[in-house]
Amino acid sequence: MGFNCGIVGLPNVGKSTLFNALTSTQAAQAANYPFCTIEPNTGRVSVPDERVDHLAKIAASVKIVPTQLEFVDIAGLVRGASKGEGLGNQFLGNIREVDAIIHVLRCFEDGDITHVEGSVDPIRDAETVDTELMISDMDNLEKRLTAIAKKAKGGDMEAKTAQEVMEAALKLLQAGEPARKMIGTLTVAQEPHFRNLQLITAKPVLYVCNVEESAAAHGNAHSAKVFERAKNEKTQAVVISAAIEAEVAQLGSDEEKKEYLGSMGLNEPGLNRIIRAGYALLNLITFFTVGPKETHAWTLKRNSKAPQAAGVIHTDFEKGFIKAEIIDYDSFVKLGGEAACRDAGKLRMEGKEYVMNDGDICHFRFNV
């Protein structure tokens, strides 16, 4: 099960520098000109989670396998992308394939790095990208509405529901609002039709404010405006300095990294916050399998049931699911392992309807 976040933004905002630091590679060539990134670069990163280390220590596991998240560095977008300007069509095609959007905004002044719009204004930049994505979604809906309306007129009830959803989404977009504002307002019958539209503006968004090194700990006036925007949109924003993250990625030992970050007034890399925020943005949770051979963290959509969790490990586990042995993380750590939890009655047997919780430690019983 793969989940990915697309890193987007205007050219020269620090996207590729951020991607390189995230993945600790130089896969994305960073350069001071637009469209340096032409093909989307993809990298998988471990999600920082202290729990996996605690569990491995208790179980004396030989191996640790953290859960991971995929990041995709997508070519910079410019005004007019929805009409094919720059690498517009390619950008829009690539972003349509990701699960969530990490929108990098330039919040630093630097005369040596050109800005495609001529000045630094992260809110204007966010609106430029939003506008292009909304125009693309509107064009998409308008092209599809005629065909679906014909089916609805012919008495197809599924088509009628789809038409209602498409018309509501189009009306919202025409008012300058992203399609994700419809989420939470849809009926059970409408939800699958909305998902099938695969609208770009329906994807969740995390704003990343790329600031100068001196503002990495607390942000600046530019990032403050972005945080206000994020608050109004009921989403999140994170402050990072891509320059600092690039430096940290090049350092060898954890001690060197800690010392360097401390000198900048930071207690952890900004990348950790981005990864955790991206994980939350995708509405994911982590469950664990723990044993002497390995402690393994697994990724699962929130509100998933036990058989679906079993299926993340192996499809046969889901097909032949019988029961799940569940121990909550706090009990496992407090009591010191599976045997003690079993003796204390903290190991539960759960069936097919059990909704998984973040931090559950599991053993699945199955028969195929």
Q: Judge whether residue 26 has pLDDT over 50.
A: no
Q: Which of 76-80, 109-113, 225-229 is modeled with the greatest confidence?
A: 225-229
At 129 the pLDDT is 86
Give the closest residue to 119 by CA, choosing from 220, 222, 31: 222
pTM: 0.81
Torsions phi, psi of 238, nearest 5? -135, 140
What is the spatial distance between Cα 280 and Cα 96, in angstroms, rounded to a whole number? 20
Residue-wise pLDDT for 331-364, tens only, equals 999 999 999 999 999 999 999 999 999 999 999 9
Torsions phi, psi of 362, nearest 5? -125, 150
At 154 the pLDDT is 86
What is the spatial distance between Cα 120 and Cα 174, in angstroms, rounded to a whole number? 27
Residue-wise pLDDT for 113-131, tens only, equals 656 666 889 999 999 888 8
Per-residue confidence band for 47, with pLDDT thresholds at 50, 70 and 90:
confident
Residue-wise pLDDT for 84-102, tens only, equals 444 445 557 778 888 899 9
Average pLDDT, the chain: 86
Q: Indicate the range of 26-40, 184-198, 211-225, 273-287 predicted with least confidence.
A: 26-40
Q: Please state the rounded mean pLDDT for residues 248-276.
A: 86
Q: Judge whether residue 79 has pLDDT over 70.
A: no
Q: Please state the rounded mean pLDDT for residues 41-67.
A: 90
Q: In what order do the strands lie in the sheet with 361-366?
A: 63-65, 294-301, 284-290, 361-366, 321-327, 348-350
Q: Which of 67-76, 122-131, 270-279 is modeled with the greatest confidence?
A: 122-131
Q: Judge whether residue 30 has pLDDT over 50.
A: no
At 28 the pLDDT is 43
At 153 the pLDDT is 87
How far CA 84 is from CA of 37, 88, 290, 328, in Å, comes to 17, 5, 50, 51
At 122 the pLDDT is 94
Per-residue confidence band for 69, with pLDDT thresholds at 50, 70 and 90:
confident
Per-residue confidence band for 3, with pLDDT thresholds at 50, 70 and 90:
confident
